[in-house]
Structure 1
Amino acid sequence: MRRLNRKQTLKVVRELDAFAKVPEDYQEASAGGGTVALLTFSLIAVLVVSEVRFFLKSRMKYQYDVDADLNSKLQINADLTVAMHCARK
């Protein structure tokens, strides 16, 4: 692959357009389209604000209780791995 110099690289980057623009002849502004855009923007803004408020409002609540049952037994499981030499034949 051929290396490009700085000017050629900048030219390639400027010409790169992943989302090509629609010609103005095909565009039509309407009140309905503006209304949909405003409603969508408002909905997104409300959702962002509510998520930020939920994040800032939520707190961790730690609650400890004393176990009053003296006769219960605590079950403890222990997984052990023992390093032993294997006998080879």
Structure 2
Amino acid sequence: MFSFQCSVNREVNTLIEHVNQVDVTEHSKLKSPPLQTARVIGHVTATMKHPSMHGLKLVVLQPLDINNEPDEFPQLAIDPLGARQ
């Protein structure tokens, strides 16, 4: 088990080193924006919503940097999967 754990740690460290070396301008070549992790820090109660948003929940997200520290200002998002229940 110990050798397996060391092997996994080595692979994770190699992956982290690779991610840190990636040129951040490379994402402009992608068709979709890069993944941004965030933490749900609250929910929004709306007295009026556009009819197309009926039944969808609104949440307040705090974007996180690579170290899971707050990055940028909080953002409003639609939570179609009910992740904040």
TM-score normalised per structure 2: 0.27
More helix by share: 1
Larger Rg: 1
TM-score normalised per structure 1: 0.26
